[in-house]
Structure 1
Amino acid sequence: MIKDIDRSIPDFLSSPKFRVHRHLLLQLTLICISSSVFADLSGEVLATRERLYCFIGFYLVLNLDVYCNLYLLAPRFLMRDRISSYILSVVGMILFAILIISVLQSSFYNLYQTDPVYNRYIVLNLVSSMISIGLLTFGSSTLLLIKYWIEYNQRVDELASSTLQSELKFLKKQINPHFLFNMLNNANVLLRKNPKEASRVLFRLKDLLRYQINDSTKEKVSLNSEIQFLSDFLNLEKVRRDNFEYLIMKEGKMEQFWLPPLLFIPFVENAVKHNPDTENKSFVYLSFEVTDDRLIFRCQNSKPAIAPERAEVGGLGLKNIKRRLELLFPGNHSLEIQEDEKTYTVNLHLIL
């Protein structure tokens, strides 16, 4: 409810579809202010023809003042940071408006009153009119500044959102070709060693590519789908390497968790890429733990006796992975990497 109200106020002040409504509200305000001319010194309401003429004149002067400020003075001076010129122009306009009002009121009251009390009432009315016009003018300028500020922030948000989506698509495109290259290379190796296994690999590769092409274009996928994708990837690696094993552990309600696609494959791909020992036993262990709105992902892999240079993660570089996490989960993630003589471990905590 509060969020709807918060959105409706900026929309009303800035959206073109509420332009007529804004002007109607302004006219209603001016009518209410101008109606003060019908009040007599004693507090009684006098709806005479003379006061009606004064009401019309006062109403037209207020309109001239407000719209001249909104469409002439404020855009020309205030919005261009020419504050001194703006203040002088507004003061001059207010004095001109008071001059017109004083002529109207003098003519109006002289029609039927010559009492000094009423003369003082005219002076009081002029002072009141000056304050009202000043507040109305600067109030309209304040609303105009708020409108410009809202529109500016909306443009900034749209630009940031557009830039964010473009950057995420760019990062995702960086992942896809590299991943596909690795898959085809694995299948090529198996074609020479074991054609039957290669057939199984290609069949599984079809499922992987379907996920890459279809599901990876979605904004979010289920955690179970992502885990199945990783399982297919690791199973493909197990077919290719006799001494390779993997394990995926799950804890919590996986089906309730939805997240951006291809989030974990850079870490898993990195664990396989930098663990190429085919002679000795090697492993990749994954774990997913879901509690409420939190997800803890852990990827641990063995290290070969002679570790290759770990300059990049998944062909992207650690900086790119961190950047994607910052874009997707700003302030709602933590990434920790641990390394010892035998294992390399990635711990990723996400809050959705």
Structure 2
Amino acid sequence: MTENNKGIAFLTQDKYRVPRHLTLQVIMLLITIGIFFDAPDSLNLSFNRFCGWITYYLFMNMLVYVNVYLLFPYFLAKDKMIAYLIAVVLFTILALLILMVLQDLFYDIAVSRQEPSIFALFLSLSSSFLAIILFIFGMSTVLLFKPLMYSNIKEQELQKAAGESELKFLKSQINPHFLFNTINNAHILVDEDPEMASHILTKLDDLLKYQFTDSFKEKVRLTDDIQLLNDYLELEKVRREQFTFIMESKGDLNSIFVAPLLFIPFVENAVKHNLDSHGSSYVHVVFKLENKELQFICENSKPAQPVSRKIGGIGLTNIVRRLNLLYANSYSLTKSESTDTYTVKLILKL
């Protein structure tokens, strides 16, 4: 992450919420602490002087948090710009009047023993008013651009994660061993069963074409992704005589679009870890559309001697990271296993 992105993340992400508030408090402390040093006798601290500073500090906090949690969400976030400006001005004037009364009671610093002129008083109030207004509007500007900044950084992270996932997938899935076995099977069948050899090469061509073209799109048809899974499993079936698979689709999936290569890591993982040299093995994949939720279920048989599970070359951590970026709180991923089966269930809210 670049330094610029780190700054944006600090301003937008919830995990920096506490540091953001602490930073704001430090800024307001630095601003208000000047009350101790704005007079010749400022080093002569007194209880009243301290009360004056506390009053000013709490006053600044009130201005900031009333704006952030009340005025901004009620007016500006709802595109009521004029109403927001009026509310801020009136609130600031009222707050300044209250501050003047409180400081008259507690704050005993006097820069001059003479009564200030009307002009001097007006100048002092005007400068305070403008300083407060600028401070509030500065906070509001950050709040206004916060969704845009968050959206930009999220998009950058998504592009980076998607690129890394696709690259790792291509390296792990379309590897020389896989290609060699598939092409070798086709070569063997050229004389024995030319039609089957042609079928294998066609499926391999479709698989490669999808992964090197459609896989880099932002969204693809779910039916295209399902076809990718089917092609992959058919090629695997040619390689392994005792391997079987079932692909099921329930509901109208033709109009559904998803991120590419979202399901293949789970299927590839199921194939890799159900290889059984002493018996048959299977993979059962189900896509089900119900109540605006897409359910993906991948079940595979467990070999007599199970191997440690790691999802493809991408890894579960990166898959979850990509799901978080793509679907945030709109998905659930669960895993379960029994004596002879292992199941992964992914639910996407559409």
Whether the 8 Å contact between 1:284 and 1:300 is mirrored in structure 2 is yes
Match of 2:312 among 308, 314, 337: 314
Counterpart-to-counterpart distance in 1, 2:295 and 2:242: 28
Deviation at 1:179, TM superposition (A): 1.5
Which of the pair has the greater relative contact order for Cα pairs under 8 Å at 6+ separation?
2
Deviation at 1:293, TM superposition (A): 2.5
Counterpart-to-counterpart distance in 1, 2:146 and 2:344: 41
Counterpart-to-counterpart distance in 2, 1:145 and 1:89: 26
1:80 and 1:153, CA in 2 relative to 1: closer, same or farther beyond 3 A?
farther
What's the counterpart of residue 349 of structure 2? 351
Counterpart-to-counterpart distance in 2, 1:165 and 1:212: 17
Q: Identity, % of aligned pairs? A: 35
Deviation at 1:326, TM superposition (A): 2.0
What's the counterpart of residue 155 of structure 2? 161
Match of 1:184 among 166, 171, 179: 179
Match runs of 1:183-262 below 5 Å = 183-191=178-186, 193-195=188-190, 196=194, 197-262=196-261
Larger mean Cα displacement after TM superposition, 81-90 or 271-280: 81-90
Letter of the structure 2 residue corresponding to residue 259 of structure 1 = V
Whether the 8 Å contact between 2:183 and 2:201 is mirrored in structure 1 is no
1:148 and 1:286, CA in 2 relative to 1: closer, same or farther beyond 3 A?
closer
Deviation at 1:165, TM superposition (A): 1.6
SS at match of 1:254: coil
Q: Could you list the runs of 5+ residues in structure 2 that have no partner in the other structure?
A: 1-25, 40-116
Match runs of 1:139-150 below 5 Å = 139-148=133-142, 150=144
Whether the 8 Å contact between 1:301 and 1:344 is mirrored in structure 2 is yes
Counterpart-to-counterpart distance in 2, 1:160 and 1:82: 33
Whether the 8 Å contact between 2:203 and 2:231 is mirrored in structure 1 is yes
Larger mean Cα displacement after TM superposition, 210-219 or 277-286: 277-286
Match of 2:167 among 153, 163, 173: 173
Larger mean Cα displacement after TM superposition, 145-154 or 245-254: 145-154
1:86 and 1:351, CA in 2 relative to 1: closer, same or farther beyond 3 A?
farther
Counterpart-to-counterpart distance in 2, 1:194 and 1:188: 10
Deviation at 1:284, TM superposition (A): 1.0
What's the counterpart of residue 68 of structure 1? none
Deviation at 1:320, TM superposition (A): 2.5
Letter of the structure 2 residue corresponding to residue 179 of structure 1 = Q
Larger mean Cα displacement after TM superposition, 195-204 or 219-228: 195-204
Whether the 8 Å contact between 2:186 and 2:200 is mirrored in structure 1 is no
Q: Could you list the runs of 5+ residues in structure 1 that have no partner in the other structure?
A: 1-77, 92-122
Deviation at 1:164, TM superposition (A): 2.9
1:154 and 1:257, CA in 2 relative to 1: closer, same or farther beyond 3 A?
closer
Residues 1:298 and 2:308 aligned together: no
Whether the 8 Å contact between 1:311 and 1:317 is mirrored in structure 2 is no
What's the counterpart of residue 263 of structure 2? 264
Whether the 8 Å contact between 2:283 and 2:300 is mirrored in structure 1 is yes
